[in-house]
Amino acid sequence: MTRLADPSWPLHMEHPPDDTLMKGVDGELAPQEAARMRVHLESCWSCRTRVDRIQEAITAFVDFYETRFTTAVDPPPGGWRKFEAAIEAAAGRTVGRSLLSNVVSLLRSSAAAQAARTSSFGQAARTMALRAAGGLLVVAVLAFAFSRYGGEAPLSASELLQHSEVAHAAQLSEVSRPVVHQRLRVSLRNASPVGRSSLSWEIWRETLEGQFHQQRDPGEVAALDELARVLRANRMDPHQPLSAASYDSWRKGIAGARERVTESRLPGGGDAFRLRTANPGPILNGEISEAELLVRAADWHPVEESLRVRLGGETREYVLTEVEFNIVRFESVASVFVAPPTAQPPASNATPVEALPSSAPRRFSDEALDQLEIDASYQLHRLGLCLPEQAHISRTLDGIEVEGRTTTIERRDMLLQTLRAFGDVPGMDVDVRIAPDESAAEAGVDAPLGDLMQLPAVQAVRDHVAARVADADAEEPVEGAEEAIDAAVRQFIGWATSRSDRLVFHARALQALVDRWPPDGLARLGLDEVAAWQSMVGDHARMLHRDAELLRTGLGPVLFAGLPDEPVSTGRRIRNVSEVPEAVRRLATLARTIDHAVHSAFASPGDAARGSFDTSGLSTSLRQVEELAAGFDVLWTLGR
C-alpha cells in the first residue's frame, strides 16, 4: 500500500505550500501526493512559477556557497575540516542531495544535543540503553526460539512469494520466447460430502505476446469457466492460476489478512513451505475466504493451491494440484496456438476488469466501454492508484464501475473530489472505500542494530558512516556519536528498502498497463486513448529510471566501491510498440531481482537468506533498468 498524502498540504488549501513544492522538486512525495501536484501544476501557472523560483534559488545558493561562503568563513576548529571535505567528496558522487548529507545533519544535531547534556545524565542514559538492549536481546532470543521450535518457517508470506517469483523469472530468462506449459488437477469440493469431482486443466501461456491456449474436457468446461470467473473476481489470473504472482495479487487486496507460513512436506517427499491466508471478512458472494499455497523448498516452485469460496450460500473448495510443469521455446509448441487464442483475461498485476456475459443487453458498445475504461485508468493513474489492491475497474450492463481504496476519510474525500467529474459521465459510477493502512515500517529498521550487524551490508554502511566522524572525534570526542551513527544506519536501511519498494511498485504498474492493453488491444482504441496509454507508460518508465539511478548512487559509496562505473548496454532499444511488452517483462524481472537483493542485504535477522546477494550483479541490474527505462522516452512507431 502506498503511504498517506503529505499532511502539510491539507485538502482545504488550493495551492501547495513551499515545503511541499520543495519535496516535489526533490522527488520525495508519496505517489498519490506527487500525482496530485502534477495535476495541479498543469493548470496553475502561479505554482509553476514558484517551482521555477525554488529551483533558481537552489542553484543560486549552491553557486554562492561554492564561490564565496567557503572562502569567506573561518575554518572550523580541530579535525572538522577533514570531516567536511570527506562529506563533500561523498556528496559529489550522488545525484541531487546526497543521502550522506541527511546523515551528516542527523549526526550534527544528535552530537550537539548529546554534548549539551551533563556527564552524569549521559552516563545514566548509557546505562539505561545497555539495560534496554539486553532486555531486547532476551526478547529476541525467546521469540526466535519459539518460532524456530514451534513449527513456524523462518520467513514471512511476502518473502516466500518473493522468492518464488524471482525463481520463476530466472527460469523464464533462460529460454528464448518462453512458453509456460502446466497441467493441473482441479478437485472441486462442495459443503456436502457427496459434492466432489476431479477436473483436468492443461494450459499453455506464451509470456512475450500474451498468447494463451487451454485444453479441457467438454464436460468440464462449465465448472472450469466458473473457477476462472472466481479467479478474476478475486484479482487472480486464470492464465497462471497456480503461481506466486496470482496468489500475491489476491492477498495484497485483503485488508487485515491473517497469514502464517509453516514448514511442511510434499506428498511424494521433500521439504516445502505452506502459506495460509485468511480473509477476516465480511465475505461476500464470490469472494475467497481462505487460501493455501504449497511451495517446494528446493526451488521455490508452487505445487498446490486451495481456495475456499462462498458461492450461492455455500462454501466451495477448489484444490489445484500441479501434475506437470515445464518451460519450453515457442517454436517447439507453436502449433498449439494455431487456433484463435481464447480471450485474454487481465493478468495478476493488471487492474481487474470483469467481463460481461455475451448474451446480456448492453447499454454501451465495446468501443465506448474501452474509452470509458481508459479514461478511468488515466484518472486513477494521476492519483497514483495503479495496482489492483488500490483500484478496481469492472464492466457492468450500464457501463463502468470504478472502486478505489484508501486509508482515511480525508483521503477518501480528496479522491472523490478529484473524481467528481465521473459523475457527469454517463455509464461511469465511482465508489471509494476506506480500508486499514497496511503499510508498515521495514522490520529490519527497528530491530536492534546489534542483530543487524550480522549482515555484511549493514556492517559496511556503519563503517562508511563511522569513518566520516572519526577525524572529528579524534581531537574533540563528541559524546553520543555512537548512538547517532546507529540512528543514521537505520535511516539508510529504511531509505534503501523504501526506494526498492518504489521500484517494484512502478514495475508492477507498468506490467499492469501492458498486460491489460497489449499491442493488439491498442488497435481497438482511438488516438486519444492510445496517447493516454503512452503517457501512463512513460510516467512509470521515468520513475523507474529515477528510482534505479537514486538507488545506485546512494548505495554506490557503500557497496559498489571499486566496481567499474560504466554504462551497461541492454543491447536493445524500443523502436516499435510491439517491442514494449518484452521490454516491460525484462524491467519487471530486473525490479524483482533488485528488490530481492536489497531486502536480502538489509533483511531482518530472522530471514534465512539474509545477507546473500551479488554486489556486482545488483549494480549491473540497476544500470540495466536505467538503460531500458530510458528507451521509453523515444517516440515509437505504433504500427497501426
The answer to whether residues 401 and 432 touch, using CB atoms and an 8 Å cutoff, is: no
Q: pLDDT tens for residues 161-198?
A: 999 998 998 898 888 889 999 999 999 876 444 445 78
Q: 580-601 and 527-559 are packed helices; what angle lies between their axes, rounded to 10 degrees?
A: 30
- The predicted pLDDT at position 7 comes to 52
Question: Average of pLDDT values for 510-521?
Answer: 85
Pairwise pLDDT comparison (163 vs 406), residue with the higher score: 163
> Among 505-519, 523-537, 566-580, 599-613, whose mean pLDDT is lowest?
599-613
Confidence band of 336 (pLDDT split at 50, 70, 90): confident
> Among 303-307, 401-405, 421-425, 525-529, whose mean pLDDT is lowest?
421-425
d(CA 235, CA 452): 36
The answer to whether residues 596 and 162 touch, using CB atoms and an 8 Å cutoff, is: yes
Q: pLDDT tens for residues 44-53?
A: 766 777 787 7
The answer to whether residues 209 and 189 touch, using CB atoms and an 8 Å cutoff, is: no
Question: Average of pLDDT values for 315-335?
Answer: 92
pTM check: above 0.85: no
Identify the domain containing residue 296 by its residue range: 157-337
- Among residues 74, 100, 129, the one where a domain terminates is 74
342 inside domain: no
Residue located via cell numbers 486443466: 201
d(CA 640, CA 637): 8
State whether 463 and 575 are in the same domain: yes
State whether 85 and 68 are in the same domain: no
- Among residues 337, 361, 379, the one where a domain terminates is 337
User: In degrees to the nearest 10, what's the CA dihedral of 100, 106, 111, 117?
Assistant: -170
- The predicted pLDDT at position 140 comes to 46
Question: Average of pLDDT values for 554-582?
Answer: 73
Residue type, 15: H
> Among 401-415, 477-491, 584-598, whose mean pLDDT is lowest?
401-415
Cell numbers for 334: 507453436
Report whether pLDDT(461) > 60: yes
HSE of 414 in the Cβ direction (CA atoms, 13 Å)? 26
Pairwise pLDDT comparison (582 vs 81), residue with the higher score: 582
Confidence band of 23 (pLDDT split at 50, 70, 90): confident
Report whether pLDDT(103) > 80: no
Rg (CA), the chain: 27
Q: 205: which residues sit within 8 A by CB, 6+ positions away? A: 179, 180, 182, 211, 212, 239, 240
Helix count (H) and strand count (E) of the chain?
Answer: 20, 11
Highest-confidence segment of 148-157, 251-260, 470-479, 607-616: 251-260
Q: What percent of the chain has pLDDT over 70?
A: 62
121 inside domain: no
101 inside domain: yes
d(CA 46, CA 376): 28
Q: What percent of the chain has pLDDT over 90?
A: 17
Residue located via cell numbers 549493514: 458
Question: Average of pLDDT values for 107-114?
Answer: 47
Confidence band of 372 (pLDDT split at 50, 70, 90): confident
State whether 69 and 203 are in the same domain: no
Cell numbers for 535: 503517457
How many residues in the chain? 640
State whether 108 and 41 are in the same domain: no
Burial degree of 553 (CB within 10 A; 0-12, 13-18, 19+):
middle
Q: How far is CA 636 from CA 20, 509, 576, 620, in A?
A: 35, 20, 5, 26
Report whether pLDDT(2) > 50: no
- The predicted pLDDT at position 342 comes to 45
Spatial strand order of the sheet with 258-265 comes to: 212-216, 196-206, 178-189, 314-329, 301-311, 288-296, 271-278, 258-265
Residue type, 326: N
411 inside domain: no
37 inside domain: yes
pLDDT, the chain, mean: 73
228 inside domain: yes
Q: How many CB atoms lie within 10 A of CB 395?
A: 20
State whether 313 and 238 are in the same domain: yes
CATH of the domain at 268: 2.50.20
State whether 96 and 18 are in the same domain: no
- The predicted pLDDT at position 157 comes to 92
- The predicted pLDDT at position 618 comes to 86
- Among residues 337, 368, 399, the one where a domain terminates is 337
State whether 172 and 304 are in the same domain: yes
- The predicted pLDDT at position 567 comes to 61
Cell numbers for 317: 473448495
Q: How many domains does the chain have?
A: 3
State whether 69 and 162 are in the same domain: no
Question: Average of pLDDT values for 79-101?
Answer: 47
Highest-confidence segment of 23-37, 289-303, 379-393: 289-303
- The predicted pLDDT at position 487 comes to 81
What is the dihedral sign for C-alpha 554, 557, 562, 566? Answer: positive
Confidence band of 433 (pLDDT split at 50, 70, 90): low
Report whether pLDDT(115) > 50: no
Phi, psi of 280 (to 5 degrees): -70, -10
State whether 67 and 86 are in the same domain: no
Pairwise pLDDT comparison (100 vs 166), residue with the higher score: 166
State whether 554 and 617 are in the same domain: yes
Phi, psi of 606 (to 5 degrees): -80, -5
Cell numbers for 387: 495496482
Q: Are strands 314-329 and 391-396 parallel, antiparallel or unpaired?
A: unpaired
d(CA 249, CA 350): 9
State whether 94 and 68 are in the same domain: no
Confidence band of 357 (pLDDT split at 50, 70, 90): very low
CA terminus-to-terminus distance, the chain: 37
| Closest of 98, 70, 87, 113 to residue 469, by C-alpha | 87
State whether 42 and 178 are in the same domain: no
Burial degree of 574 (CB within 10 A; 0-12, 13-18, 19+):
buried
Q: pLDDT tens for residues 197-245?
A: 789 999 999 887 778 899 999 888 888 988 988 898 888 889 999 999 9
Question: Cis before residue 178, ω within 30 degrees of 0?
Answer: no
Q: How much of the chain is helix, strand and coil, in % rounded to 5?
A: 50, 15, 30
d(CA 209, CA 226): 26
Cell numbers for 388: 489492483
Pairwise pLDDT comparison (377 vs 326), residue with the higher score: 326
| Closest of 496, 482, 492 to residue 110, by C-alpha | 482
Pairwise pLDDT comparison (297 vs 632), residue with the higher score: 297
386 inside domain: no
85 inside domain: yes
d(CA 252, CA 352): 14
Q: Are strands 428-434 and 399-406 parallel, antiparallel or unpaired?
A: parallel
d(CA 97, CA 74): 25
- The predicted pLDDT at position 104 comes to 42
Concatenating the DSSP letter of every residue in 138-191 gives HHHHHHHHHHHHTTB-SS-HHHHHHHHHHHHHHHHHTSSSEEEEEEEEEEEE-S
The answer to whether residues 292 and 274 touch, using CB atoms and an 8 Å cutoff, is: yes
Q: Are strands 314-329 and 196-206 parallel, antiparallel or unpaired?
A: unpaired
The answer to whether residues 522 and 530 touch, using CB atoms and an 8 Å cutoff, is: yes
